[in-house]
Structure 1
Amino acid sequence: MASNDELICQEFARIIGGQEGFAGGKCVTTINRNEIKAKISGKRFRVTSSFSFESRDDKNGRALCLGRVALLQKEVENFVASILKQGIIVSSIHNEWLFDNPNLIYVNIEAVADPLVFAKEVRKALRN
């Protein structure tokens, strides 16, 4: 990534409140949900949500922004309502694991937007 994108990636991670990294040429930020003591088939499972952006346009700053949000079932309705208010697309809501306890629900989101605006909107939805 260009150094400008690296700086934007650092700010993206700071706004969301996650750990910054690079994977496959894109900015990825991960939030650990350490407060959720999940198990899959009786073994400890670390719950994470991840957010990314890639293909940023140098002219308008917009990029493909994506998220995979791990939620408890009771958190889904508020998060989805809040993220939709932000104008972000909810592309799927699903579970991923069999034999998980508690049952985890994943919400995938997407937008073509300024990554820092997307990060602020995500942070707002996560706080609701």
Structure 2
Amino acid sequence: MSNDELICQEFARIIGGQEGFAGGKCVATINRDEIKAIILGKRFRVTSSFSFESRNNQTGRALCLGRVALLQIEVENFIASILKQGILVSSIHNEWLFDDPKLIYVNIEDVDDPLVFARKVRKALMS
């Protein structure tokens, strides 16, 4: 197992998600099973995903990204917390026309040590 794969396992553990590693990219996915979303009358599984790639072996820093699925009531607190920790918010949007409840997606990005990024994300998710 490579060093990046080991870091990926810890990244997912910190975030609280399921880990996947392929082609040099680590992805941790969190299922939001508590949100009973419906799109066009069908059940929709709400997930948030976080990743890192292009890790520099000397500095340990990598491109760290996130796509966070939130209820409208959760958006303000999450954004305030993530910005406070120096992570950029690159977009805030909805993706679906006929979703119930209305879901908002927040994309975040940073270049950081993946485990530091994971701790910041976890803190924001818990706020």
TM-score over 0.5 for the pair = yes
Q: Within 5 Å, which residues of 2 pair with 1:72-111?
A: 72-111=71-110
Q: Tell me the secondary structure at the aligned position of residue 67 of structure 1.
A: strand
Corresponding residue for residue 47 of structure 2: 48
Equivalent position amino acid for 1:36 in 2:
I
2:48 match: secondary structure: strand
2:116 corresponds in structure 1 to: 117
1:112 and 1:93 map into 2 onto residues whose CA distance is: 20
The residue identity in structure 2 corresponding to 1:84 is L
Counting aligned pairs with the same residue, the percent is 84
One-letter amino acid of the structure 2 residue matched with residue 13 of structure 1? A
Partners of 2:25 and 2:63 in 1: CA distance: 10
The 4+ residue runs of structure 1 with deviation greater than 4 A are none
Normalised by the length of structure 1, the TM-score is: 0.97
Distance in 2 (alpha carbons) for counterparts of 1:40 and 1:24: 32
Per the alignment, residue 33 of structure 1 pairs with 32
Measure how far apart 1:24 and its partner are: 4.5
Q: How many residues align?
A: 127
Distance 1:24 1:106 in 2: 26
| 1:4-24 Cα deviation digits (max 9, x unpaired) | 000000000000000000244
Alignment deviations for residues 87-110 of structure 1 (CA, whole Å, 9 cap, x no partner): 000000000001000000000000
Q: Distance in 2 between matches of 1:62 and 1:29?
A: 17
Change (3 A) 1:34 1:103: same
TM-score (norm. length: structure 2): 0.98
RMSD of aligned residue pairs (Cα, Å): 0.9
The residue matched to 1:116 in structure 2 has which SS? helix
Tell me by how many angstroms 1:120 deviates.
0.1
1:112 deviates by 0.2
User: How far apart, in 2, do the equivalents of 1:25 and 1:105 lie?
Assistant: 29
1:57 counterpart letter in structure 2: N
Question: Aligned AA for 1:113?
Answer: D
Unaligned runs of 5+ in 2: none
